[in-house]
Amino acid sequence: MGGLMKLFKKSEPWTKPFSEKVSKRVSRIPTGELEMWTDQAIYEVGRCLSGYQKTHDEVYLSEARQGAEALHAVVEELYKRMTRPIG
């Protein structure tokens, strides 16, 4: 009965600055690919911010925000993988 109660127990609310969907997706990507992806993401966020500064078009700002959220999720996942105990 105890296991059944755990099934229906509410989980902690999601409090990270990126979506749970992004986190789950990132968790399935191999570490090497995540490491390569970070450089491209940083470049893309910078490009979007530059476009926003020139035009003040909110599309650039929205794209930069999405890219930064995804980059944060990737860095968080890499950190989690590198700091978890081996065994």
Q: Are 17 and 69 in contact (CB under 8 A)?
A: yes
- pLDDT score of 32 more than 60: yes
Q: Does any domain span residue 10?
A: no
Q: Does any domain span residue 18?
A: no
Q: pLDDT (tens digit, 9 = 90+) per residue, 41-84?
A: 999 999 999 999 999 999 999 999 999 988 999 999 999 999 98
Which residue range is the domain that position 77 belongs to? Answer: 30-87
Q: Does any domain span residue 22?
A: no
How many structural domains are present in the chain? Answer: 1
One-letter amino acid of 7? L
**Nearest partner of 69 among 34, 31, 19, judged by Cα:** 19
**pTM of the predicted model, to two decimals?**
0.73
Q: Does any domain span residue 9?
A: no
Backbone dihedral angles phi then psi of residue 55, each to the nearest 5 degrees: -115, -20
Q: Does any domain span residue 2?
A: no
Q: Does any domain span residue 1?
A: no
Q: Does any domain span residue 25?
A: no
Q: Does any domain span residue 87?
A: yes
